[in-house]
């Protein structure tokens, strides 16, 4: 299969690599990240599939998935990757690319039971999901 990347695709890959300081091409698609991820049942696509889309520069395809929003940066994949790719940082880079367009993924004015929640949950969620 021939990989074709236009300027837009290349710019997306470069941004992911710049923000994460990781090389996406180091991935050998072994699937260890997906095998150990405790959140895969809630993800539209496995982390390893997201890698494939990044390598192909399939920006629109990636942004249609919920995978990066379900990732809670638990680092299980990052400590197990045989290629030492910090996958949690790749997920953060994709999140940041969306959030930096002034997008919020959580409605900060309408969080149910906010007074019951521990502060670190609210601070953590808003940090991860608001632009």
Partner 1 sequence: MDGYLYYPGCTLKTKASDYEESAMAVMEALDAPLVEMDDWYCCGAVQSLAADDIMHQIAPIRTLICAQEQGEREVVTLCDMCYNVLKRANLWMREHPDDLDTMNEFLDEDPDYEGNVEVYHLFEILRERKDDVKKRVKHKLDGLTVAPYYGCMLLRPSEVAIDDTENPSIMEGLLESIGADVLDNPKRTECCGSYHVVNRPDIVERRVEELVSRMGEMGADVIALSCPLCQYNLDSYQRSTGYDIPVLYLTELIALAFGLEAGLHKHRVDPGIMLKERGVLER
Tell me how many degrees the CA angle 95-7-100 measures, rounded to the nearest 5.
25
Is 31 a binding residue for partner 1 by CB under 8 A? The answer is no
Choice between 3 and 107, CB closer to partner 1: 107
Is 70 a binding residue for partner 1 by CB under 8 A? The answer is yes
Say how many Å lie between the first and final Cα of the chain, rounded.
37
Other beta carbons within 10 angstroms of residue 46's beta carbon come to: 17
Residue 113 CA from chain centroid, whole number: 27
Site for partner 1 in 78-117 (CB under 8 A): 78-79, 86, 88-89, 92-93, 96, 106-107, 111, 117
Instruction: Please state the closest distance from residue 28 (CB atom) to partner 1, in A.
Output: 20
For residue 15 the two structure tokens come to 């941004």
Is 128 a binding residue for partner 1 by CB under 8 A? The answer is yes
For residue 123 the two structure tokens come to 């601070």
> Which positions lie near partner 1, rule CB under 8 A?
18-21, 38-39, 41-42, 70, 72-76, 78-79, 86, 88-89, 92-93, 96, 106-107, 111, 117-129
């Amino acid at each position: 299969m021939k990989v074709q990347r236009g300027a837009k695709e290349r710019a997306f890959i470069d941004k992911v690599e710049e923000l994460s300081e990781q090389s996406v091409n180091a991935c050998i698609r072994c699937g260890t990240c997906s095998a150990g991820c405790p959140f895969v049942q809630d993800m539209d696509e496995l982390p390893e599939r997201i890698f494939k889309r990044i390598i192909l520069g399939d920006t629109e395809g990636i942004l249609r998935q919920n995978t990066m929003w379900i990732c809670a940066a638990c680092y299980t994949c990052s400590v197990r990757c045989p290629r030492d790719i910090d996958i949690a940082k790749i997920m953060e880079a994709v999140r940041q690319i969306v959030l930096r367009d002034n997008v919020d993924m959580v409605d900060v004015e309408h969080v149910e039971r906010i007074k019951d929640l521990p502060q670190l949950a609210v601070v953590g969620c808003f940090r991860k999901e608001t632009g």
